[in-house]
């Protein structure tokens, strides 16, 4: 039993880590936030992302994917998620001008609590990922990695741990080079991050219309 739980945990940790490592809006948000703030800000981003990943994986196991088969629900969630990412991306892009004018506040640049809230909203903006996590659990169950309650719980917990571990590593790496980045470099990062997040938002909205 213990070996099965360890296998499930190792599998979930790897999945959470690798999924989080994919370049996406939260990845960009984490880099930008650490450069503008501090290491704790990035850890706040990572905690928010990990909470949502774990929650969506749990919802996938609970069978919420049945609800997402309703076209109207999928379309509404996709458009809502796109709007959230576009708003966050637009705010990030606008901050490129704030730092030039010296208008940024400590709450906007270093608050881990604010970073956590933003990450929760941004990560939750694509609830259709529940389907992906449900598929992961189906495959894990078929492979007899998460076919019991203890192993399923271990897989779920490990997904959250793996996701947080990636963002902790990313935040640490960015924090090391943060002092070398000049104000002009911060403006460039803000602009590129904002544009990138808006691109992801646009793609999410397009996919919602394209595959309702």
Nearest to 37 by CA among 110, 114, 93, 92: 110
Q: What is the pLDDT of residue 47?
A: 94
Nearest to 1 by CA among 154, 107, 140, 126: 154
| Average pLDDT value for the chain | 80
Higher pLDDT, 143 or 190: 190
Q: What is the pTM of this model?
A: 0.79
Q: What is the pLDDT of residue 48?
A: 92
Q: What is the pLDDT of residue 100?
A: 46
The total of structural domains in the chain comes to 1
CA atoms lying within 13 Å on the CB side of residue 137: 28
pLDDT exceeds 80 at position 1? no
pLDDT tens digits, residue range 154-171? 888 999 999 999 999 999
Q: What is the pLDDT of residue 102?
A: 42
pLDDT tens digits, residue range 62-108? 776 676 677 777 778 778 878 888 888 887 777 666 644 443 444 44
Give the residue numbers spanning the domain of 172. Answer: 2-210
The percentage of residues in the chain with a pLDDT greater than 70, rounded to a whole number, is: 85
Q: What is the pLDDT of residue 126?
A: 79
Q: What is the pLDDT of residue 103?
A: 39
Question: Residue 48 CB: number of other CB atoms within 10 A?
Answer: 27
CA distances from 14 to 92, 151, 161 (A): 30, 15, 9
Q: What is the pLDDT of residue 104?
A: 44
Q: What does the block give as tokens for 83?
A: 């709007």
pLDDT exceeds 50 at position 18? yes
Q: What is the pLDDT of residue 165?
A: 95
Q: What is the pLDDT of residue 211?
A: 63
Q: What is the pLDDT of residue 43?
A: 93
């Amino acid at each position: 039993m213990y070996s099965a739980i360890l296998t499930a945990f190792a599998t979930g940790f790897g999945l959470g880590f690798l999924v989080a490592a994919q370049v996406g809006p939260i990845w960009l948000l984490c880099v930008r936030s650490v450069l503008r703030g501090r290491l704790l800000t990035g850890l706040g981003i990572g905690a928010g992302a990990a909470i949502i990943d774990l929650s969506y994986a749990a919802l996938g196991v609970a069978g919420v994917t049945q609800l997402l088969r309703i076209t109207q629900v999928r379309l509404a969630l996709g458009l809502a998620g796109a709007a959230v990412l576009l708003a966050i991306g637009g705010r990030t892009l606008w901050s490129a001008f704030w730092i030039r004018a010296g208008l940024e506040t400590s709450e906007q640049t270093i608050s881990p609590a604010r970073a956590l809230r933003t990450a929760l909203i941004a990560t939750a903006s694509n609830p259709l990922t529940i389907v992906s996590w449900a598929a992961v659990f189906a495959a894990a169950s078929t492979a007899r990695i998460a076919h019991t309650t203890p192993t399923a719980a271990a897989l779920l917990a490990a997904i959250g741990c793996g996701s947080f571990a990636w963002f902790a590593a990313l935040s640490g790496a960015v924090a090391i080079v943060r002092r070398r980045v000049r104000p002009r470099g911060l403006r460039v990062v803000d602009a590129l991050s904002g544009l990138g997040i808006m691109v992801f938002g646009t793609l999410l909205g397009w996919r919602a219309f394209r595959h309702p």
